[in-house]
Structures are given as structure tokens and as C-alpha cells.
């Protein structure tokens, strides 16, 4: 899926660039931010309105472990991020300058994964203690999520070839969905009901993350 999304995003950028070049220009942006590294294409739709299509991605270990307490026992998850989005956004330069309001949709394939080592954990109802390891996956509940934000920079500014840009906004990814998987020789002994309870508890704890903060900076070349 990741390779497919990346190829789709890059192919769409190339096709968009070819189709709009004769109509007044096309901007290509390299960017970095909370969605990872990205590439983006911009073309004008109307006076003060542009269309952007982009791909962002990043995979790697996070900077700190995450401690989660279950009925008095603590699991320390070594966390890893796997970020991937494909975006289709409209920019409105309401005042005719570089400042813009932005809105649109993103295909959201962002995931956060963690693993806790073998240990004794009171999972779910707390009635039973299990000697297991724990793997967890956290992802948004919306595959296609709305985005709204503000930004700076016009990727098809007629009087410049190089343009700096910035974005600040929110991706409404929905309440995080948690999948908890016991590992080790005792995994088969863990009650599915206890797993479901613990997944629900984790989702309650993480529900404030239904709003994913988006911030980025970039450099655009306008053809």
C-alpha cells in the first residue's frame, strides 16, 4: 500500500504539471513537517485560488518511550511512527498576497506502533495477570480526513521562481483506533474480552489525538 500511494502521488504530480504548464505555470514544493517529508504540486484554478496535490511520508523511531498503566501494572512501549498521507487542498489567497486559507482532504495512512517486552500485566478487567509481551498499533479512524489551516506562500506567484512556504493547520483524523496484540508463549491464554476492554481504555486515553496538528515549511520552484 505504501509503495502504491507513493507512486500514485508522484505520477499525479507529473501529469498535473504537464497539463497545466501551458496555462500559466506550475509550482513544485519540497517540504518537511509533522507529516514527514513531502513533495507537492501547485497550480492556479482562478484569481487568488490555487490547487495543491501532495505526498508526505516518514518512518522511524520516536524520541521517547510511552508508559501505559493497566490496573496497576505498567507497560513501556518502544514507539515507532509510520506516516503517510496523500493530500488534495485548495488555497484561497483572500487578500491577494502570500497569506492563504487552506482546506481539503487527505488520504490518511498514519500509524504509530509500539512494543512492550515480556512481563506480568493485568490486562482488561484486572481479574487475571498474564505473562506476555504486547504489540500495539494506533491509527486514525478515518481513511479520508478533512484538513483546514492557514499558510504563507503562493506556489504560482508570477514574479518569482523560488518561493518559501509554511503551513499550520489541523487534520481531523477521528478518534484513534487501537489494536493490541499479546505476544510470547502465553499469548493464547489472554482473554479476547480483556483485550477488547484494554483497547477501549487506550482509545479513551488517546481520544484527544483525533485532531492531528500539521505544521510544515517548504521551498517551491515555479516553472
Span 20-65, pLDDT tens digits = 444 457 899 999 999 999 999 999 988 899 999 999 999 887 667 8
Span 62-75, pLDDT tens digits = 667 888 999 889 99
Q: How many CB atoms lie within 10 A of CB 24?
A: 10
Domains of the chain: 2-222 (2.40.160.170)
Q: What is the mean pLDDT of the chain?
A: 88
pTM for this prediction: 0.80
Span 76-85, pLDDT tens digits = 999 888 999 9
Amino acid at each position: 500500500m505504501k509503495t502504491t500511494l507513493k507512486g500514485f502521488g508522484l505520477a499525479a504530480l507529473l501529469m498535473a504539471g504537464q497539463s497545466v504548464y501551458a496555462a500559466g505555470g506550475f509550482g513544485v514544493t519540497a517540504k518537511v513537517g509533522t507529516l514527514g517529508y513531502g513533495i507537492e504540486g501547485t497550480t492556479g484554478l482562478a484569481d487568488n485560488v490555487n490547487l495543491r496535490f501532495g505526498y508526505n511520508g516518514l518512518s522511524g523511531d520516536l524520541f521517547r518511550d510511552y508508559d501505559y498503566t493497566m490496573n496497576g501494572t505498567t507497560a513501556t512501549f518502544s514507539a515507532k511512527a509510520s506516516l503517510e498521507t496523500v493530500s488534495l487542498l485548495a488555497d484561497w489567497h483572500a487578500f491577494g498576497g502570500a497569506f492563504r486559507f487552506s482546506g481539503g482532504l487527505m488520504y490518511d495512512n498514519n500509524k504509530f506502533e509500539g512494543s512492550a517486552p515480556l512481563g506480568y500485566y493485568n490486562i482488561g478487567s484486572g481479574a487475571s495477570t498474564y505473562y506476555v509481551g504486547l504489540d500495539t498499533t494506533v491509527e486514525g479512524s478515518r481513511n479520508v480526513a478533512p484538513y483546514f489551516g492557514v499558510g504563507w506562500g503562493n506556489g504560482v506567484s508570477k514574479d518569482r521562481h523560488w518561493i518559501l512556504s509554511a503551513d499550520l493547520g489541523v487534520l481531523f483524523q477521528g478518534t484513534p483506533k487501537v489494536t493490541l496484540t499479546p505476544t510470547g508463549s502465553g499469548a493464547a491464554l489472554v482473554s479476547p474480552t480483556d483485550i477488547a476492554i484494554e483497547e477501549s481504555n487506550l482509545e479513551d486515553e488517546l481520544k484527544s489525538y483525533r485532531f492531528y496538528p500539521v505544521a510544515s515549511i517548504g521551498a517551491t520552484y515555479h516553472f
